[in-house]
């Protein structure tokens, strides 16, 4: 329910973002996304061939080491690909029907020209909904394109052209939005991507060392292994800061969208709002990964909540915060 005392104003101005985003931008972003997804898929296929065939089968000689490399590589490779596919294929969750205006309210809203009158309609429609955040002007957030009241932490993605619950960002590398339905999968795919890159880099440089010290004869496998060694190293350097930044956000219960909304002119207020969902490190992590730790390392949906109402770290939500401990 929205009340004057409980409402928090967040620094969001999505209407301005959408104005400059036309159909040509949408098509261009989609084309880039499809290309990047195809590129990542090709990298995964090539990495599998080089590691399994060129490195493990043709280059590594000791049977015990060969089996160790194969088992370890396949373990991380399967988890990485599984997480990657779950992130891409999980459709973003949109606000449920109760956040839509009734037919009578919608007709009344569309017939009104006064913004104040429109806000009165929205405030009345939102009074029984779990909406606590407002826009920069202090108004109830409403998406004109989707014709829906925006729940807390919900944003409109101009690429997908839909409002998405707990939107973190639209990822061009995945051709999908990262939000409530797949944020856990996204973190796992980046994490396993980092581990896979480190492992293949170490395995490749191990073999290259054998080549450089003449402990292995020169073969055609040296070139692809060299290629993989340097590519894996570069990918590791890319993945690490990316994963670190998102783990910091997750551990503070902040999305990249809300974190990006903080501006230099209002840091104190923005900092306050970015922390409004901070429940402490343990509870914040469980909001993403769930209560059952057995599922944490697997791309199986286990995030807590419904995506449109969230326990808050302030005194007004003590009961909700306590409930997450059970």
Is 174 within 8 Å of 88 (Cβ atoms)?
A: yes
Backbone phi, psi, residue 182, to 5°: -140, 15
Q: Quick one: average pLDDT of 123-139?
A: 92
| pLDDT per position as a tens digit, 80-109 | 999 999 999 999 999 999 999 999 999 999
Q: Please confirm, yes or no, whether 80 is among the known catalytic residues.
A: no
Q: Six-digit token pair at 44?
A: 């995964």
How far, in Å, CA of 23 to CA of 135, rounded?
Answer: 26
How far, in Å, CA of 307 to CA of 181, rounded?
Answer: 8
How far, in Å, CA of 44 to CA of 77, rounded?
Answer: 9
For the chain, the domains span 14-93+179-323, 95-178
Q: Which residue has the higher pLDDT, 167 or 324?
A: 167
Query: Which residue(s) pair with 94 in the sheet?
Result: none
Q: Quick one: average pLDDT of 293-310?
A: 96
Q: Quick one: average pLDDT of 114-128?
A: 94
| pLDDT per position as a tens digit, 189-221 | 999 999 999 999 999 999 999 999 999 998 999
Q: Residue 62: is its pLDDT beyond 60?
A: yes
- Of the residues 143, 171, 177, 207, only one is catalytic, namely 171
Q: Six-digit token pair at 221?
A: 């496998």
Identify the three-state secondary structure at position 297. coil
Q: Quick one: average pLDDT of 77-81?
A: 98
Q: If 0-12 CB within 10 Å is exposed, 13-18 middle and 19+ buried, where does residue 155 land?
A: buried
Confidence of residue 152 (pLDDT cuts 50, 70, 90): very high
């Amino acid at each position: 329910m929205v009340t004057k005392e409980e409402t928090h104003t967040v620094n969001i101005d999505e209407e301005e973002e959408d104005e400059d985003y036309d159909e040509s931008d949408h098509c261009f972003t989609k084309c880039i996304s499809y290309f990047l997804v195809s590129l990542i898929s090709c990298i995964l296929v090539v990495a599998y061939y080089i590691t399994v065939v060129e490195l493990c089968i043709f280059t590594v000689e000791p049977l015990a080491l060969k089996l160790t490399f194969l088992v370890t590589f396949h373990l991380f490779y399967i988890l990485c690909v599984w997480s990657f596919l779950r992130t891409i294929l999980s459709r973003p969750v949109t606000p449920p029907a109760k956040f839509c205006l009734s037919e009578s309210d919608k007709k009344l809203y569309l017939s009104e020209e006064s913004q104040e009158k429109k806000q009165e309609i929205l405030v009345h429609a939102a009074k029984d909904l779990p909406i606590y955040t407002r826009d920069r002007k202090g108004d109830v957030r409403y998406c004109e394109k989707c014709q829906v009241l925006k729940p807390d932490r919900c944003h409109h993605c101009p690429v997908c052209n839909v409002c998405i619950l707990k939107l973190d960002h639209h990822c061009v590398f995945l051709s999908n939005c990262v939000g409530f339905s797949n944020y856990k999968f996204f973190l796992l795919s980046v994490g396993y991507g980092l581990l896979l890159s480190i492992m293949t880099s170490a395995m490749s440089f191990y073999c290259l060392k054998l080549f450089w010290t003449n402990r292995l004869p020169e073969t055609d496998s040296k070139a692809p292994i060299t290629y993989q060694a340097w590519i894996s190293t570069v990918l590791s350097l890319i993945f690490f800061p990316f994963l670190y930044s998102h783990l910091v956000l997750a551990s503070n219960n902040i999305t990249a969208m809300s974190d990006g909304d903080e501006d230099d002119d209002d840091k104190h207020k923005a900092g306050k709002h970015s922390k409004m969902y901070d429940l402490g490190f343990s509870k914040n992590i469980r909001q993403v990964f769930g209560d059952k730790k057995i599922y944490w390392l697997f791309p199986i949906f286990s995030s807590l909540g419904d995506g449109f109402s969230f326990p808050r770290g302030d005194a007004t939500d003590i009961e909700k915060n306590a409930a997450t401990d059970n």
